[in-house]
Each structure stands twice: as structure tokens, then as C-alpha cells.
Chain A
């Protein structure tokens, strides 16, 4: 019930293309869904997050799409750039539950080719 499944494990996209990473969860109590971006040698950094009261959130070239009925959410990177090459982690948690931590997906290694 606590798992978050992420796919694909790796992704190669041409510069200017759209990168799409998908996550699925089981626990319907989850109500906070962040994405983290990790560059080599660095810790993951919060990229964008969504609450389930909206179906989409956009910040620049990054968009989260959220499908509550399907228990799925995805990250779309528009006009992908070589500088976007990194590992991306989706996560989920329950807000206002002090004992609940983020549950992370397994990560997706994105490579954007010039």
C-alpha cells in the first residue's frame, strides 16, 4: 500500500522533445505528490509538486498531470534540454500526518541528447 511505482527506469530523448515519466500509487490516502531532480554528485532537489485537488500543475517547461481515479501522476518536460539530463524521482505522502514520510519511486535516469 505504501509503494510508488515509477517508469521507465531510463529514458533517452532528443533535444527539443517531450520527456514523460510516469508514477502509480496504491494508497488512496496520499495527498501530496512531489517530483525531485537529482544531478550527479548532488542530493535530490524538489522540482515541482501537486495536491490532488487539481489535475495539472505547470511550472515553466515542467508539468505534472494527475489522474486521481487511475491513481497515477506523471511529469512532462517540454522542449527537453541537455541540462535536464538527471535522475528524476516521484514521491507521495499524506499531509498532516506527522508520522508519515515521503514514499519515493525507484527513479528514472533521463538523458537528453543534443
Chain B
């Protein structure tokens, strides 16, 4: 597609359940990023994939969070044993290559609510 697609757009889950969030980047974009945005707050970096290199996981807040990127394209962010503090909008972005001036293209995000 023309943009970054994220699904689902909204997810309500019970505390303790696992959730999977999906990101389809722009075709040909080798770099993919996940961010978290709490209500009215800034962008919290979670994880970054660049081509076939090992991902930069330095932003993941706990070992309940993990992500993978299959075939250099679609990425899935998994949150295990969700907690109420995990409630936020999870944003995915992609870019042609990291470290260029091409900029990031963001998806519209997945709004996660843990009840």
C-alpha cells in the first residue's frame, strides 16, 4: 500500500492477556520502528529493525515486550501478560534506510486499552 498500515486500530484486552500488534511498512522500506505514545505524551522509542541486522531493542520497557520482523517486511509487536500501564497508542514507522534524510512515515497507530 501507499502508507504504513497498522492493525488493529483499537484493542481492548484484559489485564494478564497477551496481545499482538501488527505493522505493514511501506514496500521497499528497510528500516522499521516501534514507538509508544501515552495520552498527551511524547514518542517513546521501543525497538528498531534495519534490514537483516539484529534489532535495536534498547527501548523495550520490560521482557514482556518483544517484536519480530519477518522477511524484512511485516512486523509484530507482542506484549505478554499485559498490565494497565501498557495502555497507550503504539505507533509503527518505516523509512527507506535508517540514517537518511528521507524521513519516517508513521502509521495511525494501535490504541491499546488494558482493563
CA distance A106 to B38 in the complex (A): 12
A44-B101 in contact given A89-B43, A101-B45, A107-B43 (Cβ < 8 Å): no
Q: How far is the CB of B22 from chain A (nearest CB, A)?
A: 15
A98-B91 in contact given A43-B106, A89-B43 (Cβ < 8 Å): no
Q: Does A60 contact B (CB under 8 A)?
A: no
* Contact with B108, one of A41, A101, A104, A109 (Cβ below 8 angstroms): A41
Looking at B33, B41, B103, B108, which has the most chain A CB atoms within 10 Å of its CB?
Answer: B103
* Contact with A106, one of B33, B42, B104, B108 (Cβ below 8 angstroms): B42
CA distance A36 to B93 in the complex (A): 13
Judging by beta carbons under 8 Å apart, are B98 and A98 in contact?
Answer: yes
Determine the main DSSP class of A at the interface with B.
Answer: loop
What chain B residues lie within 8 Å of A99 (beta carbons)? Answer: 50, 56, 98-99
A to B contact number (C-beta, < 8 Å): 63
Determine the main DSSP class of B at the interface with A.
Answer: loop
Per-residue CB contact flags for chain A residues 35-48 toward chain B (1 = under 8 Å, else 0) read: 01000011111100
* Contact with A51, one of B40, B97, B101, B109 (Cβ below 8 angstroms): B101
Smallest Cβ-Cβ distance to B33: which chain A residue: A101
Interface size class of B (residues with CB under 8 A): 20 to 34
Judging by beta carbons under 8 Å apart, are B104 and A109 in contact?
Answer: no
Q: Does A49 contact B (CB under 8 A)?
A: yes
Smallest Cβ-Cβ distance to A100: which chain B residue: B99
Judging by beta carbons under 8 Å apart, are B98 and A45 in contact?
Answer: no
Smallest Cβ-Cβ distance to B45: which chain A residue: A101
What are some 14 contacts across the A-B interface (CB < 8 A)?
Answer: A32-B101, A42-B108, A43-B106, A43-B107, A93-B99, A97-B98, A98-B97, A98-B98, A99-B56, A101-B33, A101-B48, A101-B56, A101-B99, A107-B43
Residues of B within 8 A of A (CB): 4, 33, 40-43, 45, 48, 50, 56, 91, 93, 97-101, 103-109
Residues of A within 8 A of B (CB): 32, 34, 36, 41-46, 49, 51, 89, 93-102, 104-107, 109
Please give me the 8 A-B residue pairs with the lowest Cβ-Cβ distance, nearest first: A43-B106, A97-B99, A46-B103, A106-B42, A107-B42, A98-B99, A100-B99, A104-B43
